[in-house]
Structure 1
Amino acid sequence: MSYDSIPSKATLRPETFTAHVSDQELDDFKQLLKLSKLGPKTYENQNNNDERYLGIKREWLADAKSHWETKYDWRRTENRINSFPNFTVKIEDINVHFVALFSKKSDAVPLTLLHGWPGSFLEFLGVCDVLKEKYSEDDLPVHIIVPSLPGYGYSSGPPLDRDYTVSDMARIIDQLMTGLGFGDGYVSQGGDIGSFVSRILGGQYNACKAVHLNFCIGAPMPNRDDPMKGLSDVEKRGLQRANDFNTLGNAYGRMHGTRPATIGLCLSSSPLALLAWIGEKFQVWTDTDPTLDEILDSVTLYWFTESFPRAIFPYRQFFSAQPALLHADPKLKIEKPKALGYSYFPLELAPVPKAWVEQTGDLVWYREHTEGGHFAAMEKPKLFAQDMEDFVKEVWKK
């Protein structure tokens, strides 16, 4: 397979991986889905007013259930996953899965792309497609490494005998990147939980030379007396969206952070319940709704890998009595000679103004988009891929 040549400097020895569930698992899933009961009609799930406040609609869930049962093809998704080089490698207690596009270009820049919840490595497959169409493995200007974060997808869950945090995630990702032969330097990109992991990598690990974010929630405002001072109309609208999220849209996060055992067990009992919980986020947090198959791809991956209950542990840090504000932590400021980049997508769930991001590091690259939301790489893969190319080209030459 092309793009699968592990760098000669690698000290890790990853094994190839193939995504596949057995026919029995697939049959059991379809039977359980068929028997999953759709809840009764209520005022809230019949009302077509602002979905940010009222949640998933019963009609949408009923249609999605029918499609999932009768038309959706998980084998097609497995084939898509397996069309890319997939690997697993043991690092500490974690069996780490990653998709890669390894370049044979001698000066290719290592770039890791880090997802969050309810995302997965699937978010970045469209970006990989864009790069494969544009470059051969001989002239690809970057090595693309797309891990499943610990607890997510095909990576194993955190240890059962101790607490685990995004700092542990960052340590694992740094060992992955340096162990693949990139100890001289790499770039980390992150959205959602991946943004916090990238922040820690840039702030604490020497091999991470630059960080690009499309999510910077919690960044400190430069002027607390007049937070709107100097902001554009686009940024003001973005802050209103952020306020809506903070006041009316983060109940899920509080549940993840304060009752992870309860919600984890609840959503592991029914694929339909998992779809309702995750499907709402893909509708509300995006610019335009993804296709139903794209949503079902993500939910089905969570179901077969049993990753929901073992993936939400980072929320304990962010929705506790003393929440971690990593993007505002002065110890994690991305300072020279390291570099910070930021892509602004207006339908991000909490778009942060450029001036606020500048408080968190040496912001040497910035681009404001007129479209795109929380799952930017999945929603706008061509825009996202171009941002990655342009950012890496700008920072690496320095």
Structure 2
Amino acid sequence: MSLPKNATIAAKPFKISIPDLQLDDLWTLIRLSKLPPATYEGTKEEYGVTSKWMSEMKTYWENDFNWREHESEINKLPQYTAPVRSKDGKENTLHFIGIFSTFENAIPLVLLHGWPGSFVEFLDLIPILAASTSPHFHIIVPSLPGYAFSSAPPLESDFTLQDCAYLVNELMLGLGLKQYVAQGGDIGSFIAEALAVGYPECLGCHVNMLQIFSPPPNHPVSTLSLKEKAGVHRGQRFNTTGNAYALEHATRPSTIGHILSSSPLALLAWIGEKLRDWTDETPPIEKILEIVTLWWFTETMPRSIYAYRQIFIEETRNMDGIALTNTKFGYSNFPMELMPVPKVWVETLGEMVFFRDHDRGGHFAAMEVPELLADDVKEFVKILINRN
């Protein structure tokens, strides 16, 4: 598939090809990495990944996992890298999957991952959307700056969600996609919101994560259904027992970046816990190791957590232009999301044109329930186009 004829950006085809030496180094590090001694806490899932899980994962990673098979499968999708200039004129490289429809009125759709995700979250969602005929789509799935094969944020200055949104918008315009729709989860939801609010080229956004920490006026928890109350309770529990990782990212990003870059088993424990705890059903072992191995080879961990101090630390919190006011948006509510949000709460955020409550699915909806998310995105886009 070729780039649109009116593209102005010099995108180059890209294939993943990790050098054999890096593969050998990884297997050596896995073999030599120690597991800790047995502890009481290591037998209880509520205290994190268990000793049994880590031991089984280490053995499988070392003896049975074949990165080349995953690399070959990912490379079946058309990938590119493109130079994109930031606001200050500095050049960045963005890696992306790009599938361009031959249909004249196809809708450009940018799919935005979060942490600890990557573009591979969307591998099962992409073919479903690419086969859609109502509507037809151009599909762009970028690796966010600092993730996978995109370049790192600058060393000499801070980098924000707004800076990230600017680069994504520049990528879309450079590809000749003058009007588009954004979809995102996790950190990708913030970027989708920033695009929809701050850039007229973005017609609206669909997200599968929202953060509402307190009940809006006139909608106390007592007025909610039992299912909605259960979702609110899940969010409260996450804030109590599940967000320590985010505070570490926000307050000591350099420290945790060094720690998790020093051992593949440390990275597996840190990311594997989230893939286990934030999903409706734990992903297959091959998928977990695909994600972690990609992160290891691309040194994503230390480069990817810049957003957390902006989101979680009051002194550095700058969410200007990242709020669902003055834009049309849609929301899909999955029961095992970190903080499921009741519809009446979502409606207070702005012009909600689509909402759907699901009975299954979690934080990584594109990976867990791609068929459900695809249906929601298609319906949202049809509503959005009819209203514009």
Does the CA contact (< 8 Å) of 1:219 and 1:352 recur in 2? no
What does residue 110 of structure 1 align with? 108
How far 1:131 sits from its partner (Å)? Answer: 3.4
Within 5 Å, give how 1:115-134 maps onto structure 2.
115-132=113-130, 134=131
What CA deviation, in whole Å up to 9, does each residue of 1:299-356 have, x standing for no partner? 0010000010000111111221346384xx6873342xx4110001010011111122
Within 5 Å, give how 1:218-237 maps onto structure 2.
218=212, 221-223=215-217, 227-237=220-230
Within 5 Å, give how 1:336-375 maps onto structure 2.
338-375=327-364
Does residue 15 of structure 1 match 2:12? yes
One-letter amino acid of the counterpart of residue 102, structure 2: K
Within 5 Å, give how 1:86-235 maps onto structure 2.
86-92=79-85, 93-132=91-130, 134=131, 141-183=136-178, 185-218=179-212, 221-223=215-217, 227-235=220-228
Q: Secondary structure at the match of 1:187?
A: strand
One-letter amino acid of the counterpart of residue 268, structure 1: S
CA distance in 2, matches of 1:325, 1:393: 32
One-letter amino acid of the counterpart of residue 158, structure 2: D
What does residue 274 of structure 1 align with? 267
Give the 3 Å change call, closer, same or farther, for CA 46–219 of structure 1 in structure 2: closer
Does the CA contact (< 8 Å) of 1:219 and 1:360 recur in 2? no
- Which ranges in structure 2 are unaligned for 5 or more consecutive residues? 86-90
- Which ranges in structure 1 are unaligned for 5 or more consecutive residues? none
Does the CA contact (< 8 Å) of 2:119 and 2:141 recur in 1? yes
Does the CA contact (< 8 Å) of 1:105 and 1:140 recur in 2? no
Q: Secondary structure at the match of 1:88?
A: strand
CA distance in 2, matches of 1:91, 1:108: 24
Does the CA contact (< 8 Å) of 2:194 and 2:322 recur in 1? no
How far 1:8 sits from its partner (Å)? Answer: 1.6
CA distance in 2, matches of 1:291, 1:199: 31
How far 1:219 sits from its partner (Å)? Answer: 6.5
How far 1:88 sits from its partner (Å)? Answer: 0.4
One-letter amino acid of the counterpart of residue 99, structure 2: L
How far 1:228 sits from its partner (Å)? Answer: 1.2
One-letter amino acid of the counterpart of residue 143, structure 1: H
Give the 3 Å change call, closer, same or farther, for CA 219–334 of structure 1 in structure 2: farther
Give the 3 Å change call, closer, same or farther, for CA 10–230 of structure 1 in structure 2: farther
Give the 3 Å change call, closer, same or farther, for CA 220–15 of structure 1 in structure 2: farther
Q: Secondary structure at the match of 2:176?
A: helix
CA distance in 2, matches of 1:106, 1:330: 32
CA distance in 2, matches of 1:95, 1:140: 30
CA distance in 1, matches of 2:77, 2:254: 34
Give the 3 Å change call, closer, same or farther, for CA 229–203 of structure 1 in structure 2: farther
Give the 3 Å change call, closer, same or farther, for CA 149–330 of structure 1 in structure 2: closer
What does residue 392 of structure 1 align with? 381
Q: Secondary structure at the match of 1:181?
A: coil
Does the CA contact (< 8 Å) of 1:36 and 1:270 recur in 2? yes
CA distance in 1, matches of 2:84, 2:337: 33
| TM-score, length of structure 2 as denominator length | 0.95
What does residue 241 of structure 2 align with? 248
Q: Secondary structure at the match of 1:288?
A: coil
Does the CA contact (< 8 Å) of 2:234 and 2:339 recur in 1? yes
CA distance in 1, matches of 2:95, 2:135: 22
Alignment RMSD, CA only? 1.7
Q: Secondary structure at the match of 2:259?
A: helix
* Number of matched pairs: 382
Q: Secondary structure at the match of 1:351?
A: coil
Give the 3 Å change call, closer, same or farther, for CA 286–204 of structure 1 in structure 2: same
Identity of aligned residues (%): 47
Does residue 79 of structure 1 match 2:72? yes
